[in-house]
Amino acid sequence: DSGVTQTPKHLITATGQRVTLRCSPRSGDLSVYWYQQSLDQGLQFLIQYYNGEERAKGNILERFSAQQFPDLHSELNLSSLELGDSALYFCASSVSETYTGELFFGEGSRLTVL
Amino acid sequence: AQSVAQPEDQVNVAEGNPLTVKCTYSVSGNPYLFWYVQYPNRGLQFLLKYITGDNLVKGSYGFEAEFNKSQTSFHLKKPSALVSDSALYFCAVRDNAGNNRKLIWGLGTSLAVNP
């Protein structure tokens, strides 16, 4: 158990809809990262927050947004969903702001868009 | 530009034999290098990292990796494979040059250990 909790584990929705994925980081970790994993594109970094502030942005679509709350949990909002958004979405956390140590990954949220 | 290559989509090895999962990288400055493993239907788990120091790094579950600066490689190895090592393995690199401190991931190598 990594200590990172993601909900929901599975989500099935229709095109055009909006969903919210939630992540609770490991106790004491200030950084939260969101990743998208699909068969054709591998593991894609979306966005990083550190102690409530956005720190780095990757290949995140404008239809997607995220935030980190004062209690350090994070939410990833996906809107106007398309079939191609179907993927496994991972949250990871770490103590540091930069990549010097281990990232702890949650079990992921599997999104299916029909 | 930073990049990571895992040249083999799949590696097959017999149980008890040594295994190698390859990773090469391209960065501007000194690299931080990482290996992660993903078991089916699970999140990624950290195996080991190279930041500085000894080129041979030992990690979890009996895995090790050797940093080779001249060949820009960081291959993952294990002397004797187990069936339970069957999983997806990811190499990642952070470039320490400039202000771009993102982690770049390889596409993963699927390891199958046959009994």
| Residues ≥6 apart with Cβ < 8 Å to B50 | B31, B32, B33, B34, B57, B65, B67, B74
The pLDDT of A59-74, averaged and rounded, is: 96
Report pLDDT for A100: 74
> Which of helix, strand or coil describes residue A98?
coil
Residue of B nearest to A89 (CA): B43
> Which of helix, strand or coil describes residue A15?
coil
Report pLDDT for B102: 78
From the list B3, B8, B13, B22, the residue with the least C-alpha distance to B68 is: B22
Q: Which residues of B lie closer than 8 Å to A, measured between beta carbons?
A: 32, 34, 36, 41-46, 49, 51, 90, 94, 101-103, 105-108
Q: What is the CA radius of gyration of chain A?
A: 13
Contact (CB<8Å) B101/A99: yes
From the list B19, B14, B28, B41, the residue with the least C-alpha distance to B95 is: B28
Stated length of chain B: 115
Residue A86 pLDDT > 90: yes
Report pLDDT for B99: 63
Contact (CB<8Å) A102/B49: yes
When pLDDT is cut at 50, 70 and 90, the band that residue B59 belongs to is: very high
Report pLDDT for B100: 60
Contact (CB<8Å) A2/B101: no
Report pLDDT for B68: 96
The pLDDT of A14-19, averaged and rounded, is: 98
Contact (CB<8Å) A42/B108: yes
Q: Nearest Cβ partner of B105 from A4, A42, A108?
A: A42
Residue A41 pLDDT > 80: no
| Mutate: best of B41, B95, B103, partner A, most A CBs <10 A | B103
What number of C-beta contacts closer than 8 Å exist between A and B?
Answer: 49
Looking at beta carbons, which pairs linking B75-78 to residues 24 or more positions away fall under 8 Å? B75/B20, B75/B21, B75/B22, B75/B23, B76/B20, B76/B21, B76/B22, B76/B23, B76/B35, B76/B47, B77/B18, B77/B19, B77/B20, B77/B21, B78/B18, B78/B19
**Model confidence pLDDT, tens digit, residues B87-108:** 999 999 987 766 666 788 999 9
Report pLDDT for A59: 84
